[in-house]
Amino acid sequence: MAKYRKKPVLIEAFRMGIDTWPDWFTEEVNQNNITTHRIGEIGQGLSPFDHSKIHCKIKTPEGETTGNYGDYIIKGIQGEVYSCKPDIFEQTYNLVSKEN
């Protein structure tokens, strides 16, 4: 048996519904590779500032995946976009820098 360590790679990521969407995410939405959804209607008990009901559907070569509120949405080293649960993300990645 052999043991391996994951190579250090630099990725971009943000938290769905918590952080501001980066330009690359907006571009994927505009190209219909990602669709965003909100549960409920604004004005029917939902504030336009309440992002806790937002999620996205991401088209990948393996099929469609869902990025729920609080999940990390990642842009990988080859431009691929996928979601990751916070506990897995925090075990796998360290913050290198943050832009405002």
**pLDDT tens, position by position, 47-81:** 555 556 789 999 998 899 999 999 999 999 999 99
- pLDDT band, very low/low/confident/very high, at 17 (cuts 50, 70, 90): confident
Span of 1-10, 12-21, 27-36, 87-96 with lowest mean pLDDT: 1-10
Q: State the Cα–Cα distance between residues 35 and 37, nearest whole angstrom.
A: 7
- Residue 23 phi, psi dihedral angles, 5° rounding: -55, -40
Burial class (CB in 10 A: 0-12, 13-18, 19+), 24: middle
What pLDDT score was predicted for residue 6?
81
Please say if the pLDDT value at position 35 is more than 80.
yes
> Which tops the pLDDT comparison, 40 or 60?
60
Q: pLDDT above 90 covers what percent of the chain?
A: 57
Note the pLDDT of residue 49.
53
